[in-house]
Copies of this chain bind each other. A is one copy, B any other.
Amino acid sequence: MSASKEDPLVIFTPSGKRGRFPAGTPVLTAARQLGVDIDSVCGGRGICSKCQVAPAYGEFPKHGVTVREGALSEWNKVEERYKTKRGLKEGRRLGCQATIQGDMVIDVPPESQVHKQVVRKRAEAREIVMDPATRLYYIEVAEPDMHNPKGDLERLMEALWDQWKLTNIIGDLRTLQMLQPALRQGKWKVTVAIYWGRGRSNGRIIQVWPGYYEGSVYGVAFDVGSTTVACHLCDLVTGEVKASSGLMNPQIRFGEDLMSRVSYSMMNPGGHVEMTKAVREAINALIGQVAAEAMIDREEIVEGVLVGNPVMHHLLLGIDPVELGGAPFALATSDSITLWAKEIEIEMHPDARVYILPCIAGHVGADAAAVALSESPHQQDDMMLVVDVGTNAEILLGNRERILACSSPTGPAFEGAQISAGQRAAPGAIERVRIDPVTKEPRFRVIGGGAWSDEEGFAHGPEVTGICGSGIIEAIAEMRIAGIIDEDGAIGSADLIGSPRVVQEGRTWAYVLHDGRAEGGPLVSVTQNDVRAIQLAKAALYAGARLLMDQMGVETVDKVILAGAFGAHISPLHALVLGMIPDCELEKVTSAGNAAGTGARIALLNSAARREVEAVVSRIEKVETAVEPKFQEHFVNAMAVPHKTDAYPRLGAHVTLPAVNFRDTGRDGGDGAEGGRRRRRRG
Which of A's residues lie within 8 Å of B, judged by CB? 143-147, 149-154, 171-173, 176-177, 179-181, 317-320, 323, 327-335, 337, 339, 343-344, 359-362, 364, 622, 624, 626-627
A624 proximity list for chain B (CB < 8 A): 146-147
- A337, B173: Cβ atoms closer than 8 Å: yes
A323 proximity list for chain B (CB < 8 A): 144, 180
Given A173-B339, A180-B323, A320-B180, also A333-B146 (CB < 8 A) = no
Number of copies: 2
Bound-complex Cα distance A335 to B170 (A): 12
A364 proximity list for chain B (CB < 8 A): 149
Q: Which of B149, B318, B361 contacts A331 (CB 8 A)?
A: B149
Bound-complex Cα distance A443 to B95 (A): 84
Q: Which of B147, B154, B327, B362 contacts A335 (CB 8 A)?
A: B154
30 A–B pairs (Cβ distance < 8 Å), ordered by A: A143-B328, A144-B323, A144-B329, A145-B328, A149-B329, A149-B331, A149-B359, A150-B331, A151-B331, A151-B334, A151-B335, A151-B359, A152-B330, A152-B332, A152-B333, A153-B332, A153-B334, A153-B335, A154-B333, A173-B318, A173-B344, A176-B319, A176-B332, A176-B333, A177-B318, A177-B319, A179-B332, A180-B319, A180-B323, A181-B320
- A154, B334: Cβ atoms closer than 8 Å: yes
Q: How far is the CB of A635 from chain B (nearest CB, A)?
A: 19
- B180, A360: Cβ atoms closer than 8 Å: no
A147 proximity list for chain B (CB < 8 A): 622, 624
Q: Which of B173, B339, B622 contacts A172 (CB 8 A)?
A: B339
- A327, B146: Cβ atoms closer than 8 Å: yes
Q: How far is the CB of A600 from chain B (nearest CB, A)?
A: 19
A172 proximity list for chain B (CB < 8 A): 339, 343
Given A151-B335, A333-B154, also A328-B146 (CB < 8 A) = yes
A318 proximity list for chain B (CB < 8 A): 173, 177
CB nearest neighbor in B for A323: B180
CB nearest neighbor in B for A359: B151
A173 proximity list for chain B (CB < 8 A): 317-318, 337, 339, 343-344
Q: How far is the CB of A355 from chain B (nearest CB, A)?
A: 13
A327 proximity list for chain B (CB < 8 A): 146
A176 proximity list for chain B (CB < 8 A): 317, 319, 332-333, 337
- A151, B332: Cβ atoms closer than 8 Å: yes
Bound-complex Cα distance A173 to B338 (A): 9
With A146-B627, A153-B332, A154-B335 known, 4 other A-B pairs at CB within 8 A are A145-B328, A173-B318, A176-B333, A179-B332
